[in-house]
Chains A and B, each alone.
Chain A
């Protein structure tokens, strides 16, 4: 049994006794609960997702453990737990979070436990995508102050929200890098020069779109993966959904959907900016995976792939967009 490797104790079967004791204590069972699992769910890079079935005298319950991976993508669990609880209380479809465990000795890293939501995650059809667009608009219209989201570091001004996000991801890149990445340095400077004024400050999911929600037919059961959420410009989410997660549809199809389902229209300038920003953010975030891999914190193969080839794909697209923007300016004589 090894600790630290892949952010978890391995092999996973070695976790069962500790988890059985842990659930027994949490559920207040007089006798030890019966535990089936854990089984790793094949999604996610920022967190390891472990499914367990806990048997109790009154019946069994299914849970998912969302386990930290050594700080991949510069995120941590506690903020995600507080946010998910607040959003569920506000009526958004979010899995109920039952417990947060900060002690890494249980499974090798901090984790939280939520109810397992049954449904599909891959290859969504248009019906559930339409509902997702409507839910994203609801999320953006949420009064984040009265929903108790003040812990998300409210920016002083709308412009500060966007600049703060550029600073955040640039800082994460600088901490994770082995060498300077000139195209990322250029992008950070380009983004500061081109930041559009936000229309308002809203709760931004940060990674919305196909693959990050669970559905049955046209009905969304839960929106997942809240670790990138922050207060900022909602256009970040719309463009992210269409460009990073929405490859199955064209930009025009997404724009039509945003307009018809949510009444949202985004200027070309803002679209270009958030497209560059999201590629930049992805590249910066993914460099943390390479750092953790090389430092021996998490040496799973997905970490090195995310930190190199996926990161390079995002960087390439980002540089291409900035180059096109410059060509456009020169073509316009500006």
Chain B
């Protein structure tokens, strides 16, 4: 057995913030069970990244290196890490919960007869791993009951990225046996769909609307509020999926990240994929008829009520206040 292994993700030649959070979570888990905390970097040409990681970890740092790992593919990454973890037999493997990890870690775990406990927001005694159910309305505690390594991925922002170890890890290289024919998919270069014409990132005030609005015909209600405030209009994903507002106005993990002085969320439940896009707002106001909606978790002010009554009243009150 070889302790806790944290798989770090590189993006544009750097280790991303959520990977440092995973490292911190893994190091804490290791400390709890008196295990070594080790890190893995997968790709090609990861020398300088490994040196940076070695400065923040004191277990091992292993570069899983192969020319066929230069570009991410699910086949390449799961094959390489399967070989590596078969050799290492870890107790725990910790990933950042990114789109890339979602794409291959479940298959990697399955190849090893395991199940990933994904999108973990907390670790309790046991250990039990906490993750959200029903789009954040409930929390579930999960326990790994089988033998073999326990795979988890941690949610963005759930663990503080302050690493607890001081550094001085030794760096080594693991070369997996992979052949080009084993990589069955051909990924293309990332692209953006259209030129962005609105910059929500620099907006001072945003009124954001969710599925609570029910029909596209009701959107003028929200537009009136935004106009009265002098705010930009934004939306949760289903509104953009339906084509009611253009995708460039979508806030969240697959849309824009915003940090206005004021963010008013109207009829938005507050799923994590939405919250990651707006948590940085200075003041959050939530208007929702469900007092248990997760959006109230991140709101400074809340109005529990029917948006079709609250929004017009608010628009009037703002207009009056501005006169």
A binds B: no
Question: Which B residues have a C-beta under 8 Å from some C-beta of A?
Answer: none
Question: Which A residues have a C-beta under 8 Å from some C-beta of B?
Answer: none
